[in-house]
Amino acid sequence: MTRTVTAKTKRIRAAFQGERGAFSEEAARRFLGPRLEPVPQREFDDMFDAVVRGEADCAVVPVENTLAGSVIKNYDLLVGYDLTIVGEVVLRVAHNLIAPRGVKLSDVRRVFSHPVALAQCEDYLRKMRQQIPSLEVLPAYDTAGAVKMVVKNGRHDEAAIASKSAAQVFAAHILASGIESNPQNFTRFFVMARPDRVARIPMAGKSKERKTSLVFRIANRPGSLYASLYAFAAEQVDLTKIESRPIVGRPWEYSFYLDFVGDRNDANVRRALAALAGAAESVRIFGSYPRAET
């Protein structure tokens, strides 16, 4: 008997940077649930390209971390691709020391992970070095990729720092859990799709509150930034983030990325956006979307 695929059961191909078991895959699963069809990509650019080419329905894009700050590469890519933000995910990041089965904690002499993950586990690694002065801490392109590598290497003295999911994907075991220095470690992701495929991506979460993200450019003259932002204060629009990035080819001039609470169709938001358009050189709205639950 053939089972009909309905809108509720249809698989959604989500591209993300890293190997299976990466934190980005966890974010994708939180947003899409059982509909997720993972499409892992080596680099951030590959993730965006996969969506543009139609090889993925959406991309799950990390944009900021509460400890490491903004993911600058992805802010630059937002401008370079014609994709729309359809949602956001906030993921609690819990790091684990993971090794091939049979490896003991006392055996470990080399630890691999993404540089940001290594920095977030500095306290734990410092304590390890007190016990093992010769310990090597080495960078990898991805947390889950580090687990894949140490399992493939099959050495008795190597481990990686990654998610619990990565240990499950690569049949490794967790030597120590919750090793991040600060438990207030959260990463925020955008879920992005081509404009013509936005309707295919289901909305996640129960929050009725909406957010909007955009980028604008201003002339390099006194008061330009104040004039651009004043309308948001005047219209009682709550700004949640502002990020500046240099404009290529225009030294010491910047684009400003803005997140705020509200939908682009709300009356007060429309007035604020109209005032911004009058003060700025250009404005591009990436999308209005449900605010993530934390």
The answer to the question of residue 5 being in a domain is no
Clarify whether residues 25 and 74 are in a common domain.
Answer: yes
Query: Which residues of the chain are under the pLDDT cut of 70?
Result: 1-9, 204-207, 294
Look at residue 70 and tell me if it is in a domain: yes
Q: Are residues 89 and 189 in the same domain?
A: yes
User: Do 69 and 191 lie in a common domain?
Assistant: yes
The CATH number given to whatever domain includes residue 282 is 3.30.70.260
Whether 120 and 87 share a structural domain:
no
Same domain, yes or no: 137 and 191:
no
| Residue 77 lies in domain | 12-93+185-195
190 inside domain:
yes
Residue 271 lies in a domain: yes
Residues marked as catalytic: 187, 189
Across the chain, what does the average pLDDT equal? 92
Domain count, the chain: 3
Q: Are residues 27 and 81 in the same domain?
A: yes
Q: What is the pLDDT of residue 263?
A: 97
Domain identity same for 154 and 42:
no
* Pair 45, 109 in one domain: no
User: Which of 140, 165, 195 is the last residue in one of the domains?
Assistant: 195
Instruction: Please check whether residues 132 and 74 belong to one and the same domain.
Output: no
Listing DSSP states for the chain in one string gives -PPPPPTTT--EEEEEESSTT-HHHHHHHHHHGGGEEEEEESSHHHHHHHHHTTS-SEEEEEEEETTTEE-HHHHHHHHHS--EEEEEEEEE---EEEE-TT--GGG--EEEE-HHHHHHTHHHHHHHHHH-TT-EEEE-S-HHHHHHHHHHHT-TTEEEEE-HHHHHHTT-EEEEE---S-S--EEEEEEEE-GGGGGGSPP-SS---EEEEEEEE--SSTTHHHHHHHHHHHTT--EEEEEEEEPTTSTT-EEEEEEEES-TTSHHHHHHHHHHHHHSSEEEEEEEEEPPP-
Torsion of CA 288, 53, 216, 44, to 10 degrees: 100
Residue 255 lies in a domain: yes
Does this model's pTM top 0.85?
A: yes
Q: What is the pLDDT of residue 219?
A: 82
